[in-house]
Amino acid sequence: MNVQHVITALASLCLALTANASEMKISSLSFQNGGSIPTKFSHEGGNANPPLKIEGVPTHAKSLALIVEDPDAPGGLFTHWLVWNIDPKTASVAEHGVPKGSTEGTNGFGEGGYGGPQPPSGTHRYYFKIFALDRMLILPNGAKRSDLEKAMKGHVIAQAELMGRYSAK
Residue ranges and CATH numbers for the domains of the chain are 3-167 (3.90.280.10)
Closest of 24, 96, 76 to residue 54, by C-alpha: 24
Amino acid at 28: S
| Separation of alpha carbons 43 and 145, rounded Å | 19
Question: Do residues 148 and 18 touch, judged by C-beta distance below 8 A?
Answer: no
Averaged pLDDT, 134-142: 97
Q: What is the pTM of this model?
A: 0.87
Question: Do residues 80 and 108 touch, judged by C-beta distance below 8 A?
Answer: yes
Q: Is 109 helix (H, G, I), strand (E, B) or coil?
A: coil
Q: Is 60 exceeded by the pLDDT of residue 152? A: yes
Per-residue pLDDT, 20: 45
Confidence of residue 11 (pLDDT cuts 50, 70, 90): very low
| Percent residues over pLDDT 90 in the chain | 86
Stronger pLDDT, 60 or 19, i.e. the higher one = 60
Amino acid at 76: G
Residue 22 buriedness (CB in 10 A; 0-12 / 13-18 / 19+): exposed
